[in-house]
Copies of this chain bind each other. A is one copy, B any other.
Amino acid sequence: MASSAGLDRVLEPVGVLPQAAWRLDASPEISDDEIRVRVERLNLDAASYRQLAEKHGGDGAAIRAEVLEIVAARGKMHNPVTGSGGMLIGVVDEVGPRSPLGVKEGDRVATLVSLTLTPLRITDGLAGWDGLSEQVPAEGTAILFGRSIVGVLPDDLAPELSLAVYDVCGAPALTDRVVRSYPDARVAVLGGAGKSGSLALAAARMAGARTIGIVRNEQEAASLRGAGVADEVAIADARNPVEVAAAVGEPATITVVCVDVPGCEHGAILATAPGGTVIFFSMATSFPAAALGAEGLAADVTMLIGNGFVPGHAAFAVDLLRRVPAVRSLFEARIAGH
């Protein structure tokens, strides 16, 4: 198990996992259970790109130079300020004989684990990138460990669309699993009009739940109503517990938090029925706020840290997108809006 989590690639400090490491060995020779990918494009995490762009006042050449510097120094595109990475697209170049990932040479894939733990070498100086967008055309190699996640890009979807779906594919898969553990669930999704939110609603509905989407304004409400995945749509500020509980009404069996701003813990807890479950997918979730909030409310609710991995999650999310054209339209509108 040890080698398949990439521990042999950690140069410093020794003993931590690749994500926690300062520096990885990104050399292209693979071990028995690794895979090498010929990189085509990096998709920088939005927070990471924003930090770089602000630091350099939008100077594309300086942004490009710093990305090259980070990758050279760390052996991975792990922004040391934001702590975030992104994903990449490429073509499988070589597959170790003991790789369990189920892909073959020539497959066009997206990595579903963060760039913060992916050994990366860039060989073209990012000559094809002007530094002015998160989408980075790149040549080089990346390594995937035995214990990793990779998604083959479907032929019928644009790569941008697949990437956007893969980015949030843990949410619908875990929502599906939790919904199926309750008879007759009512599911509230905070941030229901967003990417993870709309997929979570679609998954809940397919699994037989009644659904309510909570959104922040009339524009989002209209867009979510059009998607047809929410039996009800209501407007509330997700950071205001009283508003959220009033908007949800009858307490939800399951509340899914997909709003990426701090302070949504108490509303989600207050809106959930005793014995119910809150699933937190927002990276802005505060662990102490959730733990102390539930205690302070004497709320007997199960609180899950939204795990980005559920077996089969990528295929599950792509399948949802194909079966619910209105959700696909939501995604396409968001991508076009960028």
Contacts of A286 in B (CB 8 A): 287
Contacts of A19 in B (CB 8 A): 266, 292-293, 296
Quick check: B307 and A305 within 8 Å, CB to CB?
no
Assess whether A302 is interfacial by the CB under 8 Å rule.
Answer: yes
- 1/0 contact trace for A91-130 toward B, CB 8 Å? 0000000000000000000001110110000000000000
Quick check: B170 and A295 within 8 Å, CB to CB?
yes
Shortest Cβ distance from A76 into chain B, in angstroms?
A: 12
- In the complex, the chain B residue whose C-beta lies closest to that of A300 is B311
Assess whether A290 is interfacial by the CB under 8 Å rule.
Answer: yes
Quick check: B266 and A297 within 8 Å, CB to CB?
no
Quick check: B280 and A307 within 8 Å, CB to CB?
no
- Using known A-B contacts A16-B241, A117-B296, determine if residue A304 contacts B302 with beta carbons closer than 8 Å: yes
Report the Cα distance A298→B173, complex, angstroms.
14
Quick check: B149 and A295 within 8 Å, CB to CB?
yes
Contacts of A263 in B (CB 8 A): 20
- Using known A-B contacts A114-B292, A287-B305, determine if residue A15 contacts B298 with beta carbons closer than 8 Å: no
- Using known A-B contacts A242-B7, A245-B1, A288-B283, determine if residue A295 contacts B266 with beta carbons closer than 8 Å: no
Assess whether A164 is interfacial by the CB under 8 Å rule.
Answer: no
Chain A, 257-273, CB within 8 A of any chain B CB: 263, 266, 270
Shortest Cβ distance from A285 into chain B, in angstroms?
A: 5
Contact pick for A297, options B147, B243, B291, B298, CB 8 Å: B147
Chain A, 1-46, CB within 8 A of any chain B CB: 1-2, 5, 7, 15-20
- Using known A-B contacts A287-B286, A307-B303, determine if residue A298 contacts B114 with beta carbons closer than 8 Å: no
- In the complex, the chain B residue whose C-beta lies closest to that of A18 is B296
Quick check: B241 and A296 within 8 Å, CB to CB?
no
Assess whether A310 is interfacial by the CB under 8 Å rule.
Answer: yes
Chain A, 215-273, CB within 8 A of any chain B CB: 240-243, 245, 263, 266, 270
